[in-house]
Amino acid sequence: MSRALRLWGLVAVGSRMPVAMAPLALVFLGRSTPGGYVLGAAAAAVYVVGEIAGSAVLGARLGRSRRQLPAGMVVAALAFAVLPFVHGPLLLAVVFVAGAAPAAAPGGTRAILTSLVPEEKAARALSAEAVLSQVIWAGAPALVVFLALQVHPGVPLLVATVLFVAGAVVLRWLPAPEPVTAPISRSLWRAWPIYLTSTAANALFAAIELMLPAMLEQRRIPVGWAGPLLAWFALACAGGALLYGLRTWPGSLRAQCLVLLVCMSCSIALTVFLPGVAGIAAGLLVAGLFQSGAMVSRSLTLRERLPSYAHAPAYSLMYAAAGVGYSTSAGVSAVAVEVFNASVAVLLGVAITLVIVVVSAVGERPVVKAT
């Protein structure tokens, strides 16, 4: 843990905690207005669309300007600071900017992290990053609920503002992503089967996260168990990331990612059939262990396949693909739970994930790494 890595940890918290807080914070902000939960849900959806657009457009330009990452975080900070004071269509426009402006940060900070460690320690570094991310995603909802209910609905957004500004300031002391030295568009898009694995994982995650309360209610289990079960899942993901980084696993990175996604899908499917809270918790535990391994192995696959100056843009495109998977699965699940029930919706999410995994495997074409 060098000084640079400690600074990177501060940047990671400053850039990712606001992202983890945003959807639920927007729901509580909408709840406090005449628009109610409908406005909050619409704002959260617009935020995700902004993230997807920003990751695809801004992420592809990472490495062309040293100032892009901190500038995006500062713009996001300003947008979050304005949100509690605007209404109507203007609110949705600001929400879009808040989602799009910092969307290149996950890819950029991941590329910076791997540049700070020797090549042989990249897997451990990415595993540590996954642990930190899961801890952030586990703690962010609790922080939002506490601040929104005990202080004011706009306070979580103001806290996000402070975090973004702090992250942007600390980022100035870290090296920028490696500058792009050659045309990379063709290489980036040839890696689409790897991006699809990110789409698959988030489609599955959306299905279980969004349908878990309804599935508990369907099985006559108190809905209050949804929060602890999702926190349990996040902790399992953190443990899985730590376990993955402790040793070398058999098979190629690409094969590891695909196998782990299939195992994760089967584990989520088990939550539909295993009895009671204990059964659901068991399925989520195993799924969480597999999810982190899949996440780290796909990042390592991109790192292996692409030249170093393409890592940051590629990570950002993978983040955009994850957003597409989450939003698509959310829409399909919403329809499925109305037509059938929550259990069928979760199984449909599993089926969608497995189809994407098959397409990714069939579409695999080795990307020749540039020198």
pLDDT digits (tens, 9 = 90+) for 315-352: 888 888 888 888 888 888 878 888 888 899 999 999 99
Decide if 237 contacts 293 (C-beta within 8 A).
no
Q: Summarize pLDDT for 149-161 with one digit per residue, the tens.
A: 889 989 999 999 9
Write down the CATH number for the domain with range 185-362. Answer: 1.20.1250.20
Give the pLDDT score at 36: 80
Q: Summarize pLDDT for 43-73 with one digit per residue, the tens.
A: 888 898 898 888 888 876 766 656 788 999 9
Query: 342-362 vs 311-339: helix axis angle to the nearest 10?
Result: 140
CATH 3.40.50.300 fits 3-171, yes or no: no
Per-residue pLDDT band for 90 (boundaries 50, 70, 90) equals very high
Q: Which residue has the higher pLDDT, 175 or 181?
A: 175
Give the pLDDT score at 365: 57
Give the pLDDT score at 33: 83
- 13-22, 171-180, 183-192 — most confident range: 13-22
Q: What's the Rg (C-alpha) of the chain? A: 20
Nearest CA to 327 out of 11, 37, 47 is that of 47
Contacts of 148 (CB under 8 A, 6+ apart): 25, 28, 29, 155, 156
Give the pLDDT score at 185: 75
Q: Which pTM does this prediction carry?
A: 0.81
* CATH 1.20.1250.20, the chain: domain bounds: 3-171, 185-362
Give the pLDDT score at 371: 42
Alpha-carbon distance of 359 to 292, in angstroms, equals 21
Alpha-carbon distance of 133 to 13, in angstroms, equals 8
Give the pLDDT score at 106: 85
Phi, psi of 273 (to 5 degrees): -105, -25
Which of 134-138, 251-255, 268-272 is the least confident region?
134-138
Q: Tokens 């959260």 sit at which residue?
A: 44
